[in-house]
Structure 1
Amino acid sequence: MDKLYLLSSQARACLICAGKIPFEPKPVFRIHPKSKILVVGQAPGTKVQNTGIPWNDPSGEELRRWLDVGREEFYNEEIFGILPMGFCYPGKGNSGDLPPRPECAPTWHPQFLKELPDLKLILLIGQYAQRYYLNGERKSNLTETVKAFKDYLPQYFPLVHPSPRNRLWQRKNPWFEKQVIPELRQHVFEVMNA
């Protein structure tokens, strides 16, 4: 616990992106040495940046629906660790938030992963997480990667981002709700209850 506590303290004090983002760095993540499932998303949005609570927005509500877990379970760090690709809000772009800062994940993720001996499943939410963790194992695009989720189990489970912006994608890809979500719930249930 001491090593992870020290690492978390260092990450919370991180200034690696100072001057490259529109606000003072305010890293948002949650982790515990007993975390079983790691949620790797993009980066905090403005609401999350302001509250300091990850996935505390409509995307989080949708993600919890997909996982079939309530807020209490989701924010239990002994079950779910949360390490976004970028720990701080990256700013606004032309069509939504900017991508996560590229310095963050390579700096912090490998160090955190070494301190999570009980980790059983990593949820890779969106293209940035999938690009980083799956590297050359990704399919031709996000849709194909998510469709081939079984290829990455039992370690990784790739997902589309649960943002309201992706509702159109979900309507165009009804297989996601019918095939992927039930499998996701089953894997999460098994890990939580192992």
Structure 2
Amino acid sequence: MQDLLLNIRQCSICEKHLPLGPRPIVTAHPHAKIVIIGQAPGIKVHNTGIPWNDASGNRLRDWLNVTEEVFYDETKIAIIPMGFCYPGKGKTGDLPPRPECAPQWHKPLLEHLTNVELVILIGMYAQNYYLGKQAKKTLTETVANFKDYLPKYLPLPHPSPRNRFWLTKNPWFEVEVLPELRSRVEKLL
């Protein structure tokens, strides 16, 4: 697995599309029981090289009810974004994850992660890629029907501070989804 991670971290297949150049961000270990599949690193994560090292990560760790120490223990939690590098800025936020990464790297990574019992799918890009036709028409519908995807997958909205409106509009998320998420994470860790 170390060779695979080295190859990913040296990847430059979409270099010409990356405004800040390639800096693939990924953590994984064969013992990990949980995989978090998000979108792509933001600018702060690109600059530090630490996944989820921003306000979104703070909220995600709160949702999971884990400390930074546990969150960054790759023997427990693998962090595999849909796009490994910062894709650049768009009109309303960061650009979508580059489409080259997941088809190139996810399958070989997941083949090494034989102990995984829960894959947390954050955002529509991860949900559409992994759930395919089983994903609902909207992220809200997919997350609301989270039980349909258990025990393997648990879909979540993005924990970005920009999603305050979504969280306010969907109070069932904190009442129904977060307790299930926290319970499963606690049991696996």
What is the TM-score normalised by the length of structure 2?
Answer: 0.99
Percent of paired sites with the same residue: 58
Separation in 1, partners of 2:166, 2:124 = 14
What are the residue-to-residue correspondences of 1:15-26 with 2, within 5 Å? 15-26=12-23
> Structure 2, unaligned stretches of length 5 or more?
none
Instruction: Measure how far apart 1:122 and its partner are.
Output: 0.3
Residue 42 of structure 2 is aligned to residue 45 of structure 1:
yes
Instruction: Measure how far apart 1:23 and its partner are.
Output: 1.5
1:10-53 deviation digits (Å, cap 9, x = unpaired): 00000011111101100011111111100000000000000000
Structure-2 residue corresponding to 1:12: 9
Structure-1 residue corresponding to 2:111: 114
Instruction: Measure how far apart 1:149 and its partner are.
Output: 0.4
RMSD: 0.5
Structure-2 residue corresponding to 1:95: 92
How many residue pairs get aligned? The number is: 189
The 3-state SS of whatever aligns with 2:12 is: coil
Structure-2 residue corresponding to 1:69: 66
Separation in 2, partners of 1:39, 1:152 = 15
Instruction: Measure how far apart 1:117 and its partner are.
Output: 1.0
What are the residue-to-residue correspondences of 1:117-132 with 2, within 5 Å? 117-132=114-129
Separation in 1, partners of 2:20, 2:180 = 39
The 3-state SS of whatever aligns with 1:92 is: coil
The 3-state SS of whatever aligns with 2:17 is: coil
Residue 154 of structure 2 is aligned to residue 165 of structure 1:
no
1:47-78 deviation digits (Å, cap 9, x = unpaired): 00000000000000000000000100000111
What are the residue-to-residue correspondences of 1:74-89 with 2, within 5 Å? 74-89=71-86
Separation in 2, partners of 1:23, 1:174 = 37
Residue 25 of structure 2 is aligned to residue 31 of structure 1:
no
Structure-2 residue corresponding to 1:154: 151
Instruction: Measure how far apart 1:187 and its partner are.
Output: 0.8
Separation in 2, partners of 1:135, 1:79 = 26
> Structure 1, unaligned stretches of length 5 or more?
none
Consecutive aligned runs of 4 or more in structure 1 exceeding 6 Å deviation: none
The 3-state SS of whatever aligns with 2:85 is: coil
The 3-state SS of whatever aligns with 2:186 is: helix
Separation in 1, partners of 2:78, 2:93 = 25
